Amino acid sequence: MNFVDIIIKKRDGGKLDAEEINYFVAGVTDGSLPDYQISALLMAILLKGMDEEETAQLTMGMAVSGNTIDLSSVEGFKVDKHSTGGVADTTTLILAPLVASVGVPVVKMSGRGLGFSGGTIDKLESIPGFRVDVLEEQALAFARKSGIVVMSQTDDLTPADKKLYAMRDVTGTVDSIPLIAASIMSKKIAAGADGIVLDVKCGSGAFMKDLESAESLAEIMVSMGRRVGRKVTAVISGMDQPLGMYIGNSLEVMEAIEVLKGNVEGDLLEVSLTLGANMLLLAGRVQTETEGKELLMEQIRNGKGLEKFREMIAQQGGDVNIIDNYDLLPLSPVKMEVKADRDGYITKMDTAMIGRASQETGAGRMFKGQPLDFGAGIIMKKRTGGAIATGETLAIVYSESKEKCDSAAVFLKKAITIAEKPATEQPPLIWKIIRQED
């Protein structure tokens, strides 16, 4: 097969068949295709798109390009969750133990963060002793025993996606919705879950800035799930301000624990309950979303969600004492309060810029492989829509040096708009839920 012909076919708007797509994936995986030809096809896909059938074929090809996880030894309907990323997006640490505590197994592979703050794996690694590099057999043993395991992605899972992801990053082809969908879904399919709930973020702190693009991505991934035999639901949620109040790694662990203790309400809890309830719906554990939310809230009130989180920490080598003593978690030594310089109302937050402030503290990465300061980050003290007085604290910044705190404070002040009058309305927290039967 001549790969140049495949490039030309897509360049001219043609539809690639299964043989051509599989040839592409195989060439990426084994290194037989040169980078310049891979880049050419990626750009052609960005410009000309892929239909649903092509995208599904690319997804499955990438999913089986390496090892796949067989969860058949774990009883029950296994569920997974994926977020397209945001600021203070701590939902996995909350919903995974809650869902597992009602008998629905959660086996989740998560990644490290590149950007605003650490990924789920980085957050868990801020817990002293917690092991994320779990071998497959050990992970399955954990899942059979406790019904929950959250681990880092294995090196041999979806190798084609790893190579294409790196190539897209340096060729200006990140924004292709078929390529984004195939990247996300190939990893989820390879990880073996029966059902997947996708949290597609929309807003100033999200990859998808507007509802139209978020819907397009959500719909193609839900449709792909149907094509490949997976139950998939997509929740489009708002990211026009940080989801939680704590931004960082150990800080987000603290807030997740506080939610599980029943001490925190608001957006973070609501999105966690919405995602978790839809995981229960996919598993057939409840009949309605409302029933699912009520069940998960009961697991908070009776302490069973927190106990499942404690069980997960213990099984993966972490210090369970952090649940009752946050002093055992890292916290950077320099603390700075960022204060309002005028009276008024907080009408808007540039969430991406707040994420940039988090990077400045050391909580997030500027480049792949950069070490994190697990104790760095930001505690927000205000939400959009609220009144603020001159000198009142907007946020508290933690870092290893005053210079880093100062730098973060500059971004924070730029990110928060204070106006004389309150905004007439705020963007919704949950924009839309797309299910396979809809």
State the catalytic residues. Answer: 82, 161, 168, 183, 187
Using an 8 Å Cβ cutoff, are 436 and 233 in contact?
yes
The CA distances from residue 288 to 230, 282, 285, in Å, are 20, 10, 9
Q: Helices 91-100 and 250-260: crossing angle, nearest 10°?
A: 40
165 vs 221: CA distance, rounded Å: 17
**Residue keyed to tokens 């708009």:** 417
Closest CA to 292 of 273, 268, 269, 272: 273
Q: Is the dihedral of CA 24, 26, 29, 35 positive or negative?
A: negative
Q: How many Cβ atoms from other residues are within 10 Å of residue 79's Cβ?
A: 28
In SS3 terms, 200-232 reads as: EEECCCCCECCHHHHHHHHHHHHHHHHHCCCEE
Using an 8 Å Cβ cutoff, are 236 and 427 in contact?
no
H helix runs in 106-249, sequence order: 120-125, 136-146, 159-171, 177-190, 211-227
Closest CA to 375 of 359, 365, 363: 363
Q: Is 295 helix (H, G, I), strand (E, B) or coil?
A: helix
Range 263-302 burial, b when 16+ CB lie within 10 A, else e: ebeebbbebbbbbbbbbbbbbebbeebeebbebbbebbee
Using an 8 Å Cβ cutoff, are 239 and 204 in contact?
yes
